[in-house]
Amino acid sequence: MTAPRGPSAATSPRSGHVLLLAALAVGAFLPAAPAAAQTVDERFTACLACHGADGRSRIPETPSLGGQPAFFVVAQLFLFRDGRRDGDAMVAAAKGLTNSDLTAFAERVTRLPPPPPPEDPPDPARFARGRTLTLRHPCGVCHNPDFSGREQMPRLANQREEYLLKAMREYKSGARLGYGGAMSQELAGLGDQDLVDLAHFLSHLGPNN
């Protein structure tokens, strides 16, 4: 198990924030594809068909949006729009969105309630192992101690378990890029069972845990 460490200057939340702001600023001067003849509300309603109208996804490997920070939402939509993140459905959904549209989508996401813990109780051993891993690594430094997320760091608390595991596996393998490579660095010393336990812990966080 690796020793705890904080984010380096090169991969700190602040540096990632600055890089994304710069990318958004450049994107504002680039021509966007023609937007579909739909309002933002109509397009957002279509998004909720998969991500959950109450902020909680019921579809495997499809993340819940409730409680996500506005800047994180803008950043991810920007990456999908520009083809910097994989996902045919999301790339198609983000195509043609203007920077103002990205902000409007983010504002609507912030109105969604955070998802509740799953109905099934956590496995005590896996939950405990996951909690220990978060204490040995700076997960709570970037994502907040309660894993509610902030700025460009997503909310992890009560996210779908299989989605969390999928995302961490992709970060660890390099298939998905994080801000300045921070996530791949933090996950580098963890085995797959560690990722399984982390996903279980984060997805089952609740007031009594």
Q: Assess whether 65 and 140 both reside in one domain.
A: no
Domain span including residue 192: 116-203
CATH assignment of the domain containing 125: 1.10.760.10
Over the stretch 129-182, which tens digit does the pLDDT of each residue have? 999 999 999 999 999 999 999 999 999 999 999 999 999 999 999 888 776 678
Quick check: is 137 in a domain? yes
CA–CA dist 33, 131 (Å, integer): 44
Over the stretch 84-96, which tens digit does the pLDDT of each residue have? 898 999 999 999 9
What's the predicted TM-score (pTM) here?
0.82
Quick check: is 93 in a domain? yes
Quick check: is 89 in a domain? yes
Nearest by Cα to 47 from 101, 99, 84: 101
Q: Is 52 exposed, middle or buried (0-12, 13-18, 19+ CB in 10 A)?
A: buried
Quick check: is 73 in a domain? yes
Over the stretch 148-157, which tens digit does the pLDDT of each residue have? 999 999 999 9
- The residue from 79, 110, 141 where one domain ends is 110
Q: Assess whether 104 and 185 both reside in one domain.
A: no
Residue 14's pLDDT is what? 52
Quick check: is 4 in a domain? no
Find the mean pLDDT for residues 45-73.
Answer: 96
Quick check: is 1 in a domain? no
Number of structural domains the chain divides into: 2
